[in-house]
Amino acid sequence: MSKRIGMEVAIAAAEAAALCRFDVAAVYPITPQSHVAEHLSDIVADGRIDAEFITVESEHSALSSAIGAAGTGARVVTATSSQGLMYMHEVLPIASAMRLPIVMIIANRAVSGPLNIWNDHTDIMHERDTGWISLFAQNGQEVVDMTIQAFKIGEHRDVMLPVNVNMDGFQLTHMVEPILMPEQEEVDKFLPAYKPYAMVHPDTPVSMGTLAMPEFYAEALKAKDMAMAASRKIIAQVWKDWEKQFGRKYEPIEAHRAEDAEVLMLTMGSMGETAEIAINELRKHGVKAGLLKLKLWRPFPFEELKKLTKNAKVLVVTDRAVSFGGPGGPVCGEVKAALYDEPNRPKIVNYLIGLGGRDLTISDFVDMMKRAAEATKKMPAEAYEYYGVRE
């Protein structure tokens, strides 16, 4: 049986990785990091699991080492945040192209400049198209669960892709939360030992990270994209297995009071919990409000979104990142693309919120929902709004 403990979420994430018996952790403790890095290092140094901790000189080297280690057939974990993730950027598409199921725990934070290390989703949005599966957790429990699930999803033979688990910096990473920490035997049962598809070894010669000339490059990209598409089924299956064993349900989009909702809100990450309270408040006052919490950013759950929004009049999409000169926030762009062909699609309002750690209260969410109906009349002149910005 899982034990309920109070633990800082970043530390709990590292503990979850340890429960997965990683073989190698390659992490660089750049600012901004989270306690994931130092706790992974503690776990290895204390000999709690039989693993290597590679001390590297940069984030670029952290992921490069992770790739090298994964190429030898190791189960590998890494972690980063903000600028560190950007420094890794060059290597992210290589990890996915090499089909190495590395798991990366990301403390989502703003990127500089202006200099800011507080929470938003700008860092991961830059990595959207690098071919990684992206999960978004709304609380500490989900961080722990998703970290364990991530290995099982990524390592599946139909997938073989790296997975990142996103947790809001500070709002989650630095909070002490009550968490049901699974027992080792439970995790062992859920996640069998890693059987790599291939590994660099004298007995099994293989070339990894090969060249693809123009006549093969497009085929290689399509193969990777199809693996990403195939992961939808595997993610659903892994989440079903998880629910069966641990009793906690996971879906690409978790709906809250959405069935008969006229005004829907969509959030990603920890804000979902605050927004949920706001929705309940609005319901008390007779507003037909509902909430969609997006848990799977890549592959994007197009079908689920269509189904969940088909009866709504207005959809309020919140974004914690900016696409300068673009159509609004990156999440909203995706949502609009998903619903474009739907005959009865809701009006879509996009608020850019919580940027660089700007606090959001329940009344902010209530306010956004109330103003949404008004905002739809102004569209598309004001495609998106910086919520709460001083004019």
Partner 1 sequence: MADKKGPETWKEMNPGCMVFRPGSSREYHTGSWRAQKPVWQNEKCIKCGICYIFCPEGCIKEDEEGYFVADLNYCKGCGICAHECWPGAIKMVEED
Candidate list 189, 197, 249, 273; residue touching partner 1; CB under 8 A: 197
Cβ 74 to partner 1 shortest distance, Å: 16
With CB under 8 A as the contact rule, which of the stretches 185-193, 207-215, 235-243, 377-385 interacts with partner 1? 207-215
The reply on whether position 207 binds partner 1 by CB under 8 A is yes
Please give the helix or strand (H or E) that residue 386 lies within, else none. Answer: strand 384-386
Candidate list 49, 175, 198, 277; residue touching partner 1; CB under 8 A: 198
With CB under 8 A as the contact rule, which of the stretches 76-84, 203-211, 257-265, 328-336 interacts with partner 1? 203-211
Q: In the 8-state DSSP scheme, what is residue 195?
A: -
The residue with tokens 């290589």 is: 94
3-state class of 178 per DSSP? strand
The tokens describing 54, both together, are 């590679």
Candidate list 176, 206, 229, 389; residue touching partner 1; CB under 8 A: 206
3-state class of 61 per DSSP? helix
For the sheet with 76-81, list strands across it: 52-55, 24-27, 76-81, 103-108, 163-168, 133-136, 296-298
Cβ atoms of residues 83 and 29 within 8 Å = no
With CB under 8 A as the contact rule, which of the stretches 179-187, 205-213, 256-264, 325-333 interacts with partner 1? 205-213
Site string for partner 1, 209-228 (x = CB under 8 A): xx-xx-xx-xxx-xx--xx-
- Residue 216 or residue 386: which is nearer to partner 1 going by CB? 216
Cβ atoms of residues 26 and 62 within 8 Å = yes
Cβ 76 to partner 1 shortest distance, Å: 15
The reply on whether position 201 binds partner 1 by CB under 8 A is no
The reply on whether position 236 binds partner 1 by CB under 8 A is no
Neighbours of 199 (CB within 10 A): 15
Q: Which of residues 78-137 bind partner 1 (CB under 8 A)?
A: 97-100
- Cα–Cα separations (whole angstroms), residue 151 to 18, 175, 181, 248: 12, 24, 17, 17
User: Which residues of the shown chain bind partner 1 in the complex (CB under 8 A)?
Assistant: 97-100, 160, 197-198, 205-210, 212-213, 215-216, 218-220, 222-223, 226-227
